[in-house]
Structure 1
Amino acid sequence: MTLENKLINKEIQDYINANLNTDLHTLLLKKSPFPDVSMPEIVQQIKGKQTAQKKFPFLLQEGIVFPPQLNLEQSSSEKTAEYKSQILKGKKFIDLTSGFGIDAYYLSQNFEEITLVEQNQELLNIVEHNWGILERKATFINHNLEDFLDDNQEHFDVIYLDPARRDQNKNKVFLLEDLSPDILQIREKLLATADQVVVKLSPLIDLKYLISVVPGIFRIEIIAVRNDVKEVVIFLSSEQKEGIRVNCINLESGESAFSFTFGEEENSQALYSEPEKFIYIPNNAILKAGVFNLISERFGVKKLHPNTHIYNSSEKISDFPGREIEMELIESKQVKKKGQFNIISKNYPLKPEDIKKKYGLKDGGKDYLIFTQSKKGKIILKSV
């Protein structure tokens, strides 16, 4: 009997559910009450359900089995996978780095034929088991992706990859040549196998570097969830396309996506002024894109300083993609000692922790203090 079949036993599932809030270190010291399932295997399922509660709640149903923690960490969240699924459609979809299959499950929803390739047989068994529970059909192939590409004779509408971003010592890596697989080496094979190639990358990767080393990019998605940038996703095609479209999306924020063509920033001019009534801070997906002048030009808001990516206006801009705060300029001596504030420090010599110590401030509350710099020098802004 496979581990998946053992774990879905009702008694074992009841035990797992009863211990979702138990200290796992204490639990690991206990002997498993089940002869065929070890305590580490039980704890692995508890960790999986705890992760699923936040990251992919659609898997919180009877019969689902979870892989080791590292596979859960490397998986996309339900929110980001669902967003990407809205972009792709066609007949034949293949995920060459299936992993736990979250991206494949969502991205393949608009395709008729689905193939998942994964070199880890145990992980693939778990995914195949779960897709059976979820009543989703696919072809599951246990293979190294480079060997698969060499042997494959099929053509696909879309290939999806999420290269491993850890080296042999499990340290995080970010440059394309350090990833596994190295998409620079297999790019031509990928484009010969599919009309479109989609690659999920680290949120830390530099866009200019990407475009300079990877030919064929025609679209980039910078995906944040609640202002935390989670993924940079690139779209490749062998067809010549005009311009590279970049979309900055901040999921669960209620903000509209901000889109531009790569190169627009270089032709944009920012406006400048000293602080006016309304202050704006772009969301982190936009800050990641580095379109600091374009934001000023598009929304008619003014920067405080060339290196201060905070904007302002005398009239309220209601659809700005980021934070909008009504503020006033104050002197250092006006900072309320021992007050409670949300502290923001941008282009300022002191970090928020240092500011809190200097003024004896506490985090939190409804009020904001922004320590920053305009063209005239260091300034402090307080929410009204």
Structure 2
Amino acid sequence: MNNRILDKEVQAYIKVNREKSPSEIALKKSPFSDVSSSEIAAQIDGWQRAVKKLPTWAFSAGIYYPDKINLEQCSSEHTALIKQTLITKGSKVVDVTGGFAVDSCYMAQEAEIVVHCELNERLSAIVKHNATVLGVNNVVCIATNGVDFVQQQEDGSLDYILIDPSRRINHAKVFLLEDCEPNIIAAQDMFFRKSRFTICKLSPLLDISTALQKLKHVKLIYIISVDSDCKELLFIQDANYTEAPKLVAIRLFLDQIQTLVLTQEEEKQTLIRTSQPLTYLYDPDVSITKAGAFKTVAKRFNLFKLHTHSHLYTSSDLEPDFPGRAFLIQEVFELSAFKKRTSLEKANVSAKNFPMKVEEIKKKFKIKDGGNEYLFFTTDYLGNPIVIHGHKV
């Protein structure tokens, strides 16, 4: 951490140039003898990454940005706010894999103390500086191995452990929980002795059922999407919990939030109704599909499915609170008649429960991407391939 970057004249220079290309700045000669052009470029790159993801950081004077990989891997403010709601007022929290400390800073607004553990000494120093700038005075930064730190604490002395195991080991991606670093499977029993609750932030690509076979006492699973992109899976472990976990699908979009709570057993027991396309078509958000709430979402919103395996829904009356996209159906075509009966050359194409992929469809029917028209290539409840033309509601 080069403290010279925090000098007023350097910060003023960064502010004036922060909307310019970082690579362009890196090629220029630095106006400062003890701050390189690459260091200035890195701070500008950090600010540009933070503007949408971390606006509180971006618009606070004196923030020091770390390496871009730390910004890529950190939580957004939207998802950090969800974690803030998971802890009780006045609790003691240890963030085992602290990183850039977005989660730590938000949890600190509820907690009595948050201990931020980070092996990277430079990153730990950056977090300590930024916490002071942000006025978050109850985050204690320790450059240490977080698992070792927790192990050294007295049994029952903590309220929450937050851990985000790395899925990159020696620059290679790993996919099994036990291959991540730290190994949360091996550490979970020790965690339960130190703290009743463990919050595991896991890859959105992880199979939920597989994870449940390895993680003990899971009480809640949060599936969080931001603007239709699944960002986080949070597994909340409660040492005292022995029942089936609840799944909480959370959709964050346009500063709104939609939530659907269910259990895997509820989904299994739910009966569905199928129908030909009616007036409206619904395409569920990724948080719903990741939660496996294919039948539950139909029941909750009184919808029909187009087919048992076509995760598209329909209704005669609009359901404005549906967690996903809604379309007013313009036309429904049998696949064999589609090309003869439409002159659409530009549309947004989706394929669900359909034998062809989107790229194949666009090539075959000579459809270009974009515009306000939407085409869904799917299968109806009789097993017939159909095309639904709709406009977004």
Same fold (TM over 0.5): yes
Show the counterpart of 2:183.
Answer: 182
Show the counterpart of 1:202.
Answer: 203
Provide, for residues 248-267 of structure 1, a one-character-per-residue CA deviation record: whole Å limited to 9, x for no partner: 01112545301112321111
Gaps of 5+ in 1: none
AA aligned to 2:49 is T
SS of aligned partner of 2:123: helix
Question: RMSD over aligned Cα, in angstroms?
Answer: 1.8
Show the counterpart of 2:310.
Answer: 308
Structure 1 residue runs of 4 or more that deviate by more than 6 Å after TM superposition: none
Distance (Å, rounded) in 2 between the aligned partners of 1:299 and 1:10: 56
Distance (Å, rounded) in 1 between the aligned partners of 2:356 and 2:257: 30
Distance (Å, rounded) in 1 between the aligned partners of 2:111 and 2:158: 11
- Per-residue deviation at 1:334? 4.7
1:274 aligns with 2:276: yes
Distance (Å, rounded) in 1 between the aligned partners of 2:342 and 2:11: 54
CA contact (8 A) 1:220 1:247 kept: yes
Show the counterpart of 1:163.
Answer: 165
Show the counterpart of 1:99.
Answer: 99
Gaps of 5+ in 2: none
CA contact (8 A) 1:165 1:179 kept: yes
Show the counterpart of 2:385.
Answer: 378
Show the counterpart of 2:241.
Answer: 240
AA aligned to 1:66 is Y
Q: Which moved more, 1:45-54 or 1:131-140?
A: 131-140
Alignment of 1:1-384 (within 5 A): 3=2, 5-60=3-58, 61-90=60-89, 91-137=91-137, 138-153=139-154, 155-168=157-170, 170-253=171-254, 254=256, 256-327=258-329, 328-330=331-333, 331-334=337-340, 336-337=342-343, 339-374=345-380, 375-383=382-390
AA aligned to 2:369 is D
AA aligned to 2:224 is I
- Per-residue deviation at 1:241? 4.1
Distance (Å, rounded) in 2 between the aligned partners of 1:302 and 1:125: 55
- Per-residue deviation at 1:338? 5.3
Provide, for residues 6-37 of structure 1, a one-character-per-residue CA deviation record: whole Å limited to 9, x for no partner: 11112211222233233333332333221211
Distance (Å, rounded) in 1 between the aligned partners of 2:76 and 2:186: 28
- Per-residue deviation at 1:280? 1.2
SS of aligned partner of 1:272: coil
TM-score by length of 1: 0.94
AA aligned to 1:364 is G
Q: Which moved more, 1:59-68 or 1:20-29?
A: 20-29
Describe the shift of the 1:156–1:150 C-alpha distance in structure 2 as closer, same or farther (beyond 3 A): closer
SS of aligned partner of 2:312: strand
AA aligned to 1:116 is H
Provide, for residues 208-240 of structure 1, a one-character-per-residue CA deviation record: whole Å limited to 9, x for no partner: 111111111000100001111100001011103
Distance (Å, rounded) in 2 between the aligned partners of 1:146 and 1:82: 24
AA aligned to 2:94 is I
Describe the shift of the 1:86–1:11 C-alpha distance in structure 2 as closer, same or farther (beyond 3 A): same
SS of aligned partner of 2:64: coil
Describe the shift of the 1:285–1:237 C-alpha distance in structure 2 as closer, same or farther (beyond 3 A): same
